[in-house]
Amino acid sequence: MVDDNGIIDRGIKICQIFRRKNIIEFKSPDDELSERVLWKVVGYAGIYISKYGVKDSEITITLLRDTKPVKLLKDLAEYVEADHENGIYYIKDWKVDFPIQIVVMSSLKGTENAGLRAISKNPRIEDIEQLLREVSETEDTDLIGWYRDFLDLFSRLDSETIEELKRRDPDMAKTWRDIFGVDQEINTAVNTAVNNTTRTNLYIYVQDGDMRLENAARRANVTPDQFRTDMTNAGYQIPQAQAQTQAQTQAQPV
């Protein structure tokens, strides 16, 4: 999206609003995207502006989400300019002076957006093939490292698609081995570290009210009760509303 000289590729649709500094927030399919969350990201921008002396005219916000945030867009309808064909919704003349766009990843078009579509809820195997072709054609070590990190993330989100791709296409399997050194996911030690980081992030999302505990437990692959216990033991607080809901559920007769 940006070359070594900091020049933005305006041919990529989501880059067209970009300025000097661009805050990008990724929301998973289970994450809430409401006006409250939008204000939180605006808060990040405010902190950045204050800390680094950046002008409002030099900053943008991009929120990436797999599915369309229907309620948020309805609440902000008078400020929304929609590019339905590309799944991009621009928030204009709202309460801040810098551009904001909401990008629905699954609706993005073009091979240049293969990476974003790949981490959506229903990725296409063709997009993973595109990423592997691109990495096999470059000698840029920094870019290869970026592809490696991206494909590693995808392999943890959807390992079945990766295995299917490697089974049906020996060339893609070879490219995968070239990237990771072995025909398997990253070693157990790194996986453990990543899983711990992911779990901590889930605790923070639940504590801040950005995700329901049940959704976080599903993503952590544990029961809600186990997640609740682990979260409490780790020193995080369960929002009162969710705790009350759980208590009411347990009080109901079987």
Residue with the larger pLDDT of the pair 236 and 145 = 236
Which residue spans within 58-134 are E strands per DSSP?
59-65, 80-83, 88-91, 100-104
- Supply 127's token pair: 């997009």
> What pLDDT is recorded for position 195?
53
- Supply 208's token pair: 């801040």
* CA–CA separation, 29 and 64 (whole Å): 10
Is pLDDT at 186 greater than 50 in this prediction?
Answer: no
> What is the 8-class DSSP label of residue 56?
G
- Cβ–Cβ < 8 Å for 130, 175: no
- Cβ–Cβ < 8 Å for 65, 102: yes
Which of 167-176, 188-197, 223-232, 236-245 comes out lowest in average pLDDT?
188-197
- Cβ–Cβ < 8 Å for 201, 184: no
Residue with the larger pLDDT of the pair 31 and 58 = 58
Q: What is the pLDDT of residues 35-76, one digit of tens each?
A: 999 999 999 999 988 988 888 888 999 999 888 889 999 999
| 157 burial level (CB within 10 Å; 0-12, 13-18, 19+) | middle
> What pLDDT is recorded for position 181?
62
SS3 84: helix
- Supply 167's token pair: 């089974």
> Rounded to an integer, what is the distance from CA 133 to the centroid of its chain?
23
> What pLDDT is recorded for position 252?
47
Long-range contact set of residues 14-17: C-beta below 8 Å, sequence gap at least 24: 14/62, 14/88, 14/101, 14/103, 14/108, 14/113, 14/116, 17/60, 17/62, 17/90, 17/99, 17/101
Q: What is the pLDDT of residues 110-130, one digit of tens each?
A: 888 877 777 777 777 788 888
Q: What is the pLDDT of residues 148-172, one digit of tens each?
A: 777 777 776 667 777 777 788 888 7
pLDDT band for 253, please (50, 70, 90 cuts).
Answer: very low
- Supply 76's token pair: 């902000």
Residue with the larger pLDDT of the pair 220 and 186 = 220
> What pLDDT is recorded for position 9?
53
> What pLDDT is recorded for position 63?
92
**Element counts in the chain: helices (H) and strands (E):** 11, 5
CA angle 150, 32, 194 (to 5 degrees): 35
Cross-strand partners of 26: 64
Amino acid occupying residue 90: Y
Q: What are the residues whose beta carbons fall under 8 Å from the beta carbon of 33, sequence distance 6 or more? A: 27, 63, 65, 69, 72, 102
- Mean per-residue pLDDT, 90-102: 91
